[in-house]
Structure 1
Amino acid sequence: MKKLTLILGMLYASISFSQLQVTGTVTDTDGTPLPGVNILEKGTNNGVITDFNGTYTIEVNPEGVLVYSFVGFGSKEVPVNNQSTINVTLSSGSELEEVLLVGSRALPRSNTTSSLPIDVLASKELASTGQVTFDKALQYKIPSFNTVQTPVNDATSLLDPYEIRNMGPSRTLILINGKRKNLSALLYTQTSPGRGETGSDISAIPTDAIKRVEILRDGASAQYGSDAIAGVMNIILKDNPNEGSATIRTGVTSEGDGETIGISLNNGATIGDNKGFFNYTVDFSKVNLANRPGTVDADGEFNDFVFVDPNLPDGTPKPDAANIAIGNTLGRTSVDNFLSQFPDAGNINGSPETSAAKFLVNGGYDINENTNIYMNAAYVYKKVNSFANYRTPYWRRAEAFNPDDVDGVDFFSYLNDFFPNGSNGEYIGYLPTFEGDLNDYNATIGFKTKKNGWNFDLSYTAGGNSQDYSVNNSHNRNSVLSPSTWVDANDNGVVDPGEITEGSELYQENSPISFDPGGTKFTHSVGNIDIAKLITDQISIGVGAEFRTETFEIIEGDLASYDGGGADSFAGNRPENSGKFNRYNFGGYLDISADITEDFLVNGTIRLEDYSDFGEAFVWKISSRYKFLEDKFTVRASLSTGFRAPTLHQIYTQRAQFSFIPGQGIQVGGLINNVSPQARLLSIPQLDAEESTNFTIGFGAKINKNINVTVDYYNIQVDDRIVLSTEIGATDAGNTPLDDVLQNNNLSDVSFFVNAIDTRTSGIDVVANYRNIGIGPGKLNFSLSGNYVIQNERDGAVNNPTLVADAGQSVVNDTQEALFFTSRPEFKAILGANYDIGKFNFSLNNTLFGPTKFRNQGLQDLESLVGGDPADSDGGSDLSVEFKTKIVTDLGINYNATDNITVALNINNILNVLPEWEFKSLTPTGDAVLNDPDAEKTAFNLITFNGRYSQMSYDGYHFSQLGTLFNLSLNYKF
């Protein structure tokens, strides 16, 4: 027994003494310590992770091999070789193979081993653009990403619409650290790209809080649920507790307006005994108004707002011909006098004044080696001050014209007391404001643990977005009387003469000039459980579930904002159109990823969703990748189905809306929802989910560590696409239910949401990089990326509701189709060069914006402009508007004054390139219009509101109309 004990003791000692204690530090290529790096003795279960200073200690076999791995960084194997100290540097970002968190719900994979096209942008690349907001930075980094700033579109000024692959803002899912971000409360309802849709407010995310961005350019509904038809954007937040910086930035346009000033702070700290961390960002900014109005045409103004045709049809109330002639003469004088004082008609359009305060924190805590909790939270407040169109003194003269008021000058004479007068005391109109207060928040708390090789992730996310509006310097011009009152003076219970006092005028001369039209609010709560395991060295599995509840609220405006017709320029939400609306859904998925061989990967996912308001959706996805030539070339492909649930905004929004109708001036239309009595009266069907089929195929080549290229073809088919219809007007018969709805609500037209069309979109994405080219003492990097749209069009006929079809109209007209399919650049490319030399870094980026085409409202039925018979029109557009191909060049200069201080100068659009457009003829009538200067001028007035939006038309464009922008920043690293 003693011998056995001695032998066992000697064996234990030999084993103990054969182990070697190794210590070291793991850093990134900038020398920053990396906490949480996994260090495993190869072939064993022996492992540790680095602490928050990036250090570690492990006992290993002196002849063993250590494997270092960390999400977002390339793995590295290092032989021990009896070394007691091993310091390791891991490469991240675009330097090596990024470990990606999107693309698979099983275990993460690197970029070159992924079967899907994914863009990865580090925070430095976003900052290098010099753009003020995150969405605008993406505009100049991702070719398939587009955003547009609209000139004047009410609530749209709070949040610019964006999209990937021309699919609209509602078809890209936004994640923060892998968790779903809430939608915005804003529904785009004006004539701009993104019309009828909503998306998350990514402009609210402070750029200094972002570590990197992963953009999956592929349908991913099976993996992530609704809204992922076009792709997924995953925003990874900074998690370094030991580094921080403060940045002061300022800027101005070349015209001397649009001044910006901002300050941001990003910092972090450890928690406890280096077991936890938090990283926080605070950002304050202010952007002043930049105004780019056009010169207004007097002929167009006179014809739209003043001119009374003496040849009006019989039975039309009108003064005699002599009074009409006098009124038209005086009216033209009024127009000319006003425009001589204000050539731009007092309009303000361009970039609104915006103030923002942003707060964000990201943190985590290690309970033990296998379990940790994590959290992040953000709050953003944004104030936007914009304007409606200027109300000139002659706008409604024809409406007020009568034989007793032949010159129409006395139209609402009380307005002289309401608003400022001109230099001679005359009424000169007024400029209503549109002001928005936006609040956006999101927060996630989660728990991760590993047990028996299984990875468990449980989380809860809450988020919301609210937008409250204000209208100032306006008035309610409608005649509404207060209720009559009865005072029973004789106390006899009988109405005697003189006891009833008629109601008084509530508005017009008694109207307030400030209004609270209400607003909108959206919130969601999301619970997730995700489980993944590496079953074998070749197979990993992921399974999970999500429960989500959503609430959309339409906030009632004050009485004066909607009563009668409401505040001029923006009517408030009526009580019957307001309220809270809720739904919930449950979804579950199964994901299997199998390496058939070392080079051949197959990944499959299935998902089932069940919505409380429209039922179930089942979708699937399969993708594959094959590597060859020693991993230098990769071919990949995916095929999937997808869906997008109609948003609560689309189902329940109902309101009156002011808009400019070419040739008719300002009109009030109605947006009716699909569950309203009006919808039932008009037999408008309730909304169903969109369904999609996505196909992607491509290849990647990694020639060496400095040269790589990827090319991907995509094809996206969407069935039952949800659109906001065009404005449906009265019928010729005048006695249909449609006419009744218009007449009873004093509306010029109605619009509504409907599953109206099937669409097909296809194109090619290209990304290429060539790095570390030695030129003199510095290094030069090149990048080229591009997107080309092959096909983007309607597939089949429009699905019109019966009432619309019977009225000879369509819910989708040429203008709508242009907004869906041709209002984004046909192609876009970004060529960037970056040169590092000493303490300087120089960057030069050229962004090519291909042509975009609009068929603006008003360009149909132009026969009358060239002496033709309007009855001969086919109802289609005779002209289109094409924005020309342009290249925008941005220059950036960074100077590292010390190890801690960096000064950056960005000159965006250094060559002062501005959007330019021209008419294109589509019919013989269009040819005749372009050959007639007067007719072409009329067409120009139709789409620019008589020249107010001469540079951008009424629909906006994809790069700034403000010209050259100068931005200067000073960054101090702690």
Structure 2
Amino acid sequence: MTNLRPLFAVAASTLAIATAASAHAQAAPTPAAADATPAASEPSDIVVTGTRTSGRTRLGSVSPIDVLSATTLQRQGTTELAASLAAVVPSIDFPRSAAVDGTDSIRPATLRGLSPDQTLVLINGVRAHTSALLNTNGSVGRGSAAVDLNTIPSVALDRIEVLRDGAAAQYGSDAIAGVVNLRLREARTGGGATVTYGQTITDVTTARGQRSEHDGKTVTASGWQGIGLGSDGFLTVSAEYLNRGATSRGDFDPRKTPIRVRSRFGDPAVEQYTGFVNAAKPLGDSGWTLYGFGGYQHRDSVSAATPRINGGTDANASAAALASLYPDGFTPLIAVESNDLTATGGIRGELSGWKVDFNVSYGRNQLNFETRNSGNATYGAASKTSFYDGKLTYDQLVGGIDVSREQPLGQGTINIAWGLEYRREGFRIGAGEPASYNRAPGASSTLGGGAQGFPGFQPSNVISKHRDNVSGYLDLEAKPIDQLTIGAAVRGESYSDFGETATGKLSARYDFAPWIALRGAASTGFRAPSLQQQFFTSTSSVLNTGGAIVETGLFPSTSAVGLALGGKQLQAEKSRNLSAGIVLRSGGFDLSVDAYQIKLRDQIALSENLSGTVVAALLAPYNVSAGRFLLNGIRSTTKGIDIVAHYRKATPSAGTFDLTAAANFNDIKVTSFPGNTTITALVNGVSTSSTQALFTRQRIVSIEQGTPREKVVGTIDWSLAKLGLTARASYYGDVTQPSSGNGLAANDIHTGRHTIFDLEARYQVIRNLNVAVGANNLFDTYPDYVKVTSSVGTALNSTGLVGFPYYSPFGFNGRYVYGRIGLTW
């Protein structure tokens, strides 16, 4: 534990600074805090996530819950919801990957180091839909399809509740690591508007040199308005516009003179428009209320692929074939157009003493892909330079009814809740234009076919799949005496594709005194394999030495190619969760410490790419030369501790101090995984075998060490009259980006241990006008750069494509400075 001391030092020093400041308070009337956001936006202590009992508080809950206000999210430089969450919740990680195709634009977040799709996301308590994208490259979350948190703007939110406990028995599939519930703003009157401008101002030091960068210019304009519906209803409208420039943090490319940065390794350029509404209207005196909410986002995102160099020491054959179009080579750009829709309507009220809530929700995400500044090398000078590559579409229809009632139980009470849910999901792949995947007749076998950087989806990839799910649950929460709370939940699910499953949860809490309580839970969980995991396919055409065009790529595990390679029907992931914690509170101080263990089996992951002479011979009848597929068979154990300390102090003359120190210590071990597979086929009439790895060290290290094993965040929020200040220190433990294949540990790339400091100052110019200036990563801290060679002489950075590990949990953009103007009415 010696190496953990710096983590505690970050939190302790943060609290010590603030405590010392508060000690200078003098007796005087307490001034009002100033902020552009009305006090009404501060979160209530009442939570609805993890319990179906009304009136449960954050500190009174059976399971650990973080409650984050819209104000907390907005007092940062970033306007990305996922990045804002990761900055203040230590158990959430949001890596800023680069050079991993569509994942550059649709980035997943993780909770407690588990896969992004093992956290359930709700909007106002209703299941949100996932992105259509399956992460297929070497990023954190490889092989998953998760909810894109950045489709919901912070301006539309009142608060976020993060349940850090397994909850599949309560909410269904995906809630293995926990639940993130996004609560939309509810307002009949008032409104606000905010404009934020920022950019990176940074000095970049990579393995081959130094330079300064001023890029990533970002403009965000957002606003909301509350409208009364009659005398008792509300309609809240929120909107946001974002325009963000690309960043570039690659190393100097030594392959060609002059030596310069040729890659665009960094954040994509983004322009997006988002709108959300939230409404409710009581139906007279009937006791019933109609409600609805929904939103739409259009996002254009452009990231960069690997540069194609023409000439030099590492000339690219495709770049040479396109030299008439790009004499010095080119960097293909991958453009992703995301159109995301969610719409929910429902009615709630009371029937025969039971609270009833019925709702129907529809969500849809469509991704259209283009490759720009590129070419199809097999066509040479006649090639197009921009290509439509096809599209992915995922949609989800959910209908549910939730019923609950609290009634006496001896000297206490019991809350009985039950419900039913129907869900229909669809996943489709649409083909790109022929030039995005075709090969020109007679083209050289040394040239890659299709659009360079991102070949289009072929007609053989086109699919349209659907499935249905029906589930039911019973959730009991009893309080037989004031000090004791006992919970029990059971849920059954039936899927049309993989069958039935059942989960359960037991939880308890005992308050020994008003200032101390113990809590714990034991549960089982599951996550159904997504349609994206079952049916996503992407292939590229390759001309073999015999002149025939064959395909290689990712195939469904139950396709002809997948079955030939040993694929099987995917099964649901299963978990067993244990947690135990203590809650302490006294006056304005509270502390919670929660330990957890999550055992996973049948985890889903991508196999390695199986190739070679024997594989090509086996797959020859399918006109395929190599492939990979998704498989089950991984087991892991995750153990950790969450610590959250909070202290609020209002002083007469020094102002109000709100102090938080939070930490997550997380350890993941892969305990078993699929081994080698032996493939046998006739090669030139002779039975020949080839043994290949299905799952390598690279994948194991990604699971075990791809997210921080230690993360501590200390925050001071101070306000006095018209002034406000937020200071934050975030410590990140080392993250490992593994070497390829079964490489040596000496060839792994490490981010190192680093502390990031953020600072924001605010001033209320007049009653309704607020200005702020700040800096994220104030001291311009970077992860350790990627070295040219490892300690054993292996080349790690021969091309200069990457400058820093793309597993970095805090990115690699450096210092970001910003200003913000806020207006309320």
In which range does the TM-score fall when normalised by the shorter chain? Answer: 0.7 to 0.9
> Are 1:721 and 2:603 an aligned pair?
yes
Amino acid at match of 1:285: L
Structure-1 residue corresponding to 2:126: 179
- Which residue among 553, 569, 572 is the counterpart of 1:686? 569
**Structure 1 residues 363 and 412: alpha-carbon distance in aligned structure 2, compared to 1, 3 A threshold:** closer
Structure-2 residue corresponding to 1:267: 225
Amino acid at match of 2:567: I
User: Are the equivalent residues in 1 in contact too, given 2:306–2:801 (CA < 8 A)?
Assistant: no
The aligned runs of 1:593-608 (5 Å cut-off) are: 593-608=477-492
Amino acid at match of 1:795: T
Structure-2 residue corresponding to 1:890: 758
How far apart are the structure 1 equivalents of 2:288 and 2:582?
38
> Are 1:798 and 2:670 an aligned pair?
no
Amino acid at match of 1:961: F
Structure-1 residue corresponding to 2:638: 761
User: Are the equivalent residues in 1 in contact too, given 2:605–2:632 (CA < 8 A)?
Assistant: yes
User: Are the equivalent residues in 2 in contact too, given 1:729–1:750 (CA < 8 A)?
Assistant: yes
User: Are the equivalent residues in 1 in contact too, given 2:675–2:695 (CA < 8 A)?
Assistant: no
Cα-to-partner distance string for 1:804-841 (whole Å, 9 max, x where unaligned): 99733222211111211101011000001111112001
Following superposition, the deviation at residue 572 of structure 1 comes to: 0.9
Number of residue pairs matched?
754
> Are 1:379 and 2:232 an aligned pair?
no
> Are 1:250 and 2:197 an aligned pair?
yes
Following superposition, the deviation at residue 907 of structure 1 comes to: 0.8
How far apart are the structure 2 equivalents of 1:91 and 1:244?
12
Structure-1 residue corresponding to 2:582: 699
User: Are the equivalent residues in 2 in contact too, given 1:637–1:695 (CA < 8 A)?
Assistant: yes
Structure-2 residue corresponding to 1:549: 424
How far apart are the structure 1 equivalents of 2:42 and 2:226?
21
**Structure 1 residues 646 and 658: alpha-carbon distance in aligned structure 2, compared to 1, 3 A threshold:** farther
Structure-2 residue corresponding to 1:819: 702
Structure-1 residue corresponding to 2:591: 709
**Structure 1 residues 951 and 544: alpha-carbon distance in aligned structure 2, compared to 1, 3 A threshold:** same
Cα-to-partner distance string for 1:403-451 (whole Å, 9 max, x where unaligned): xxxxxxxx886634323xxxxxxx3112211111001110110100113
How far apart are the structure 2 equivalents of 1:596 and 1:627?
13
Q: Tell me which moved more, 888-897 or 955-964.
A: 955-964
Structure-1 residue corresponding to 2:663: 786
Structure-1 residue corresponding to 2:526: 643
How far apart are the structure 2 equivalents of 1:946 and 1:31?
51
How far apart are the structure 2 equivalents of 1:342 and 1:460?
58
How far apart are the structure 1 equivalents of 2:601 and 2:641?
22
The aligned runs of 1:911-950 (5 Å cut-off) are: 911-916=779-784, 930=791, 936=793, 938-941=794-797, 946-950=799-803
How far apart are the structure 2 equivalents of 1:804 and 1:237?
57
How far apart are the structure 2 equivalents of 1:115 and 1:802?
49
How far apart are the structure 2 equivalents of 1:682 and 1:657?
18
The aligned runs of 1:139-288 (5 Å cut-off) are: 139-254=86-201, 255-272=213-230, 274-288=231-245
How far apart are the structure 1 equivalents of 2:731 and 2:618?
50
User: Are the equivalent residues in 1 in contact too, given 2:734–2:752 (CA < 8 A)?
Assistant: yes
Amino acid at match of 1:651: Q
How far apart are the structure 2 equivalents of 1:163 and 1:129?
20
How far apart are the structure 1 equivalents of 2:623 and 2:42?
58
Structure-1 residue corresponding to 2:29: none
Tell me the SS of whatever aligns to 1:170: helix
Percent identity, aligned pairs only, is 29
Q: Say which one has the larger Rg.
A: 1
Structure-2 residue corresponding to 1:774: 651
How far apart are the structure 2 equivalents of 1:880 and 1:388?
22
**Structure 1 residues 626 and 674: alpha-carbon distance in aligned structure 2, compared to 1, 3 A threshold:** same
**Structure 1 residues 378 and 109: alpha-carbon distance in aligned structure 2, compared to 1, 3 A threshold:** same
Structure-2 residue corresponding to 1:308: none
Cα-to-partner distance string for 1:460-507 (whole Å, 9 max, x where unaligned): 0000111001112222223xxxxxxxxxxxxxxxxxxxxxxxxxxxx3
> Are 1:343 and 2:219 an aligned pair?
no
Cα-to-partner distance string for 1:235-274 (whole Å, 9 max, x where unaligned): 00000111210111111111321111121110011112x1
How far apart are the structure 2 equivalents of 1:603 and 1:807?
53
User: Are the equivalent residues in 2 in contact too, given 1:589–1:608 (CA < 8 A)?
Assistant: yes
Gaps of 5+ in 2: 1-31, 202-212, 440-448, 543-549, 682-688
How far apart are the structure 1 equivalents of 2:673 and 2:532?
26
How far apart are the structure 1 equivalents of 2:765 and 2:358?
45
After TM superposition, the score normalised by the length of structure 2 is 0.87
User: Are the equivalent residues in 2 in contact too, given 1:275–1:366 (CA < 8 A)?
Assistant: yes
How far apart are the structure 1 equivalents of 2:199 and 2:162?
31
User: Are the equivalent residues in 1 in contact too, given 2:176–2:526 (CA < 8 A)?
Assistant: yes
- Which residue among 87, 95, 103 is the counterpart of 2:50? 103
After TM superposition, the score normalised by the length of structure 1 is 0.74
User: Are the equivalent residues in 1 in contact too, given 2:245–2:268 (CA < 8 A)?
Assistant: yes
Following superposition, the deviation at residue 888 of structure 1 comes to: 0.4
How far apart are the structure 2 equivalents of 1:398 and 1:128?
48
User: Are the equivalent residues in 2 in contact too, given 1:728–1:804 (CA < 8 A)?
Assistant: no
User: Are the equivalent residues in 2 in contact too, given 1:722–1:753 (CA < 8 A)?
Assistant: yes
How far apart are the structure 1 equivalents of 2:246 and 2:704?
31
Following superposition, the deviation at residue 729 of structure 1 comes to: 2.9
How far apart are the structure 2 equivalents of 1:794 and 1:918?
26
**Structure 1 residues 31 and 257: alpha-carbon distance in aligned structure 2, compared to 1, 3 A threshold:** closer
- Alpha carbon RMSD of aligned pairs, Å? 2.7
Amino acid at match of 1:515: F
Structure-1 residue corresponding to 2:386: 514
Cα-to-partner distance string for 1:589-623 (whole Å, 9 max, x where unaligned): 00111112111110000000000001001000010
Following superposition, the deviation at residue 183 of structure 1 comes to: 0.5
**Structure 1 residues 116 and 413: alpha-carbon distance in aligned structure 2, compared to 1, 3 A threshold:** closer
The aligned runs of 1:556-595 (5 Å cut-off) are: 556-564=431-439, 565-595=449-479
> Are 1:752 and 2:626 an aligned pair?
no
Structure-2 residue corresponding to 1:293: 250
Following superposition, the deviation at residue 956 of structure 1 comes to: 3.4
Q: Tell me which moved more, 146-155 or 770-779.
A: 770-779
How far apart are the structure 2 equivalents of 1:209 and 1:90?
16
Indicate the structure whose relative CO is greater, using CA pairs within 8 Å and at least 6 residues apart.
2
Q: Tell me which moved more, 197-206 or 288-297.
A: 288-297
How far apart are the structure 1 equivalents of 2:134 and 2:82?
18
Tell me the SS of whatever aligns to 1:278: strand
Tell me the SS of whatever aligns to 2:819: strand
Gaps of 5+ in 1: 1-28, 33-88, 299-338, 401-410, 420-426, 479-506, 660-666, 861-875, 921-925
Following superposition, the deviation at residue 917 of structure 1 comes to: 5.2
User: Are the equivalent residues in 1 in contact too, given 2:196–2:820 (CA < 8 A)?
Assistant: yes
Q: Tell me which moved more, 366-375 or 910-919.
A: 910-919
Cα-to-partner distance string for 1:494-540 (whole Å, 9 max, x where unaligned): xxxxxxxxxxxxx3343222211102010000001000001225111
> Are 1:415 and 2:322 an aligned pair?
yes
Structure-2 residue corresponding to 1:741: 619
How far apart are the structure 1 equivalents of 2:308 and 2:456?
19
**Structure 1 residues 190 and 539: alpha-carbon distance in aligned structure 2, compared to 1, 3 A threshold:** same
Structure-1 residue corresponding to 2:59: 112
Following superposition, the deviation at residue 744 of structure 1 comes to: 6.9
Specify which structure has the higher proportion of strand: 2
Structure-1 residue corresponding to 2:776: 908
How far apart are the structure 1 equivalents of 2:66 and 2:488?
21
Structure-2 residue corresponding to 1:972: 823
Following superposition, the deviation at residue 150 of structure 1 comes to: 1.1
How far apart are the structure 1 equivalents of 2:645 and 2:540?
46
**Structure 1 residues 285 and 639: alpha-carbon distance in aligned structure 2, compared to 1, 3 A threshold:** same
Following superposition, the deviation at residue 167 of structure 1 comes to: 0.6
How far apart are the structure 2 equivalents of 1:446 and 1:398?
60
